[in-house]
Chain A
Amino acid sequence: MNTRLPLLLLPAAVFVLGIYAWPTLLLLRNAFNEVGPTGAMIPAWSLATLRDVFADGFTLELTRNSLLLSASATALALLLAYPLSLFLFRTNSRWRGPLAVVAILPMLVSGVVRVFGWLAILGDRGLVNSVLQSVGLISAPLKLVFNWTGVTIGLTESIMPYMTLALLAGFGRLDRTLEEAARSLGASPWRGFLRVTLPLSLPAIALAGGLGFVLSMSAYITPKLLGGGRVFVLATEIFEQATTNTNWPVSAVLAIYTLVLLLALLALAQLASRALAR
């Protein structure tokens, strides 16, 4: 091994230490501080905040909401992104390049802009409700935003491009010849997909799923704006505590709790992906 190789890591290491590790350590320190009667933070080494946060039933509800929303958004996004990625991976069409760009285009648009787009589509006077009402299928507008449904739709769309890229990267083991072999052995295209293509793409699915889940868990803008203040998740609560309530210790405890949760889930996804690649 080249001894100078670690030098190449130096710029990135400095950057990560300065931008990520240091603030995280500060956050960790804040978690042990206390809040005085005036609302000001008092430096201390206390476990009171930690105890309070985990004794509060609301924390459990936030966790449940975050996990459920992320799981449903990830599952939905997988269902949509998997066929799309498979098509992009396979096609020889000259539209492949443009189509791939369209598929990841949402990544390039600001989250706020995207959310306002959804409000225009899903709102009470939005595209969907106007069309359904003018056709006469419904009399009153469907509640599609400022609730669980709206957040799920928004999250699904925002994580799809990332998952499409992850799936495309993970499809390396897929081989057209293997499907042809399955066909020659008597498997219909659908059976061949179930017995060959799907099992071989499980590692990619685990990877993309892990990524989508983590992104959903840490999403703030989408649950905040499409939830309309009625959908509470860990990310929105951390922000509320830090800004509105200026309760830094609670915000810090919740942030570190979320981080640990995510790291655990990422590790699980990694393990699953490796086990499935065997």
Chain B
Amino acid sequence: MTGYLELTGLHKRYGESIAVHDVSLAIGKGEAVALLGPSGCGKTTTLRMLAGLVDPDRGTIRVDGADITRLPAHRRNMGYVFQSYALFPHLSVARNIGFGLEERGVARGDITRRVGDALALVHLAGLERRRPRELSGGQQQRVALARALVVHPSVLLLDESLSNLDAKLRDAMRHEIRSIQKSLDITTLFVTHDQVEALTMCDRIAVMHRGRIAQIGTPEDIYERPAARFVAEFVGRANALAATRDGGGIRIWGAAQPMNDPGWPSFDILIRPQRMRLLPSAEPTGDAMRVEGRVLRRAFVGDRVEVLVEGPGGQLTVELPSGGTLPEEGTAIAVAWRPQDNLIFPPDAA
């Protein structure tokens, strides 16, 4: 696939450790892609290589067909929103936003007009003369976004841009950034360790693990059809149940299971907590997957309830909508789920 923004075989090592390992990625014009992964997975290094703040050891970066791999940062025309916002403390909001336009030699009158438009876009009209430290965290975030967007960058890069905001504000900004990104049709790469951010703000997600892209796909792909155990466990939550083989049949927690044998000597089965249900111990379940256990604890989380079940093979969490009747702690219980909700991966070496 060819894209508007193309990374091919990007590689970066720091001393002995490989930060980014042959990362290739093609992003279409106007598409928003999240680089999702735990800290240290190489996502920020990848973003910084795109912006020209880090030199790759190998690989190429192309924007709209042009190779920009060796272009210095200030000639790349990319908008970068830093995690700390990096607003210039000695300049007013207007001068911060106009900084890129001044560097590009835009006429003063045009700068004033475009800064005004950019401020209106992020709902901060009228704050031109404030200093960054006089703004709230959310306002600073908006100024940083306006400053990156006002120069009409070819690509917008966001580095953990919402992680310094409190939860409510983060929700609001998520939707706002997404709608601005869509309305401007700007190609965006978004680095985050927050799966909700990745799932809700992007067309596609690239999950990174130890310097490599573990999987790239739509949020549904990533969540419903994880390509690797790491992806299944990092995006969303999953119960891991060890499966054993007994005379050709598969057993979990000692109970025989109606499922096909993948042929591996031993393996884990992962199941999302909300795909499981609870039923009385005696009740039959037909051809569903099923294990027996005892209710260890219940936790009320508002719109849902988490039930911790303990059985012969360990513990698992079942997530139910709140409002229904719940089994008492200590009662024997059966946990059942559909075989098609099994996520099975080969026993990985790593």
- Measured between alpha carbons, how far is A173 from B87 in the docked complex, in Å? 12
Residue of A181, A183, A184, A188 near B88 (CB, 8 A) is A181
CB <8 Å contact, B99 and A177 = no
A47-70: contact bitstring with B at CB < 8 Å (1 yes, 0 no)?
000000000000000000000000
Residue of A185, A191, A200 near B89 (CB, 8 A) is A200
CB <8 Å contact, A191 and B103 = yes
B27-35, B77-85, B198-206 - the one binding chain A: B77-85
CB <8 Å contact, A186 and B104 = yes
Main SS of the interface on chain A? helix
A178-B86, A178-B88, A199-B90 known; A187+B53 contact, CB < 8 A: no
Q: A200 to chain B: which residues have CB within 8 Å?
A: 89-90
Residue of B52, B53, B72, B151 near A185 (CB, 8 A) is B151
In the complex, how many residue pairs between chain A and chain B have their CB atoms under 8 Å apart?
64
CB <8 Å contact, B147 and A185 = yes
CB <8 Å contact, A186 and B77 = yes
- Measured between alpha carbons, how far is A192 from B103 in the docked complex, in Å? 10
CB <8 Å contact, B53 and A183 = yes
Q: B52 to chain A: which residues have CB within 8 Å?
A: 183-184
Q: B147 to chain A: which residues have CB within 8 Å?
A: 185
- Measured between alpha carbons, how far is A184 from B100 in the docked complex, in Å? 8
Residue of A180, A195, A196 near B53 (CB, 8 A) is A180
Q: A177 to chain B: which residues have CB within 8 Å?
A: 82, 84, 86
- Measured between alpha carbons, how far is A191 from B75 in the docked complex, in Å? 13
- Measured between alpha carbons, how far is A188 from B105 in the docked complex, in Å? 13
Residue of A173, A175, A186 near B74 (CB, 8 A) is A186
A186-B103, A188-B74, A200-B89 known; A181+B151 contact, CB < 8 A: no
CB <8 Å contact, B86 and A180 = yes
User: Nearest-CB distance from A238 to chain B (Å)?
Assistant: 41
A221 at the interface (CB under 8 A from B): no
B238 at the interface (CB under 8 A from A): no
Please name the residue on chain B nearest to A187 by beta carbon: B103
List A residues at the B interface (Cβ < 8 Å).
Answer: 173, 175, 177-178, 180-189, 191-192, 195-196, 199-200
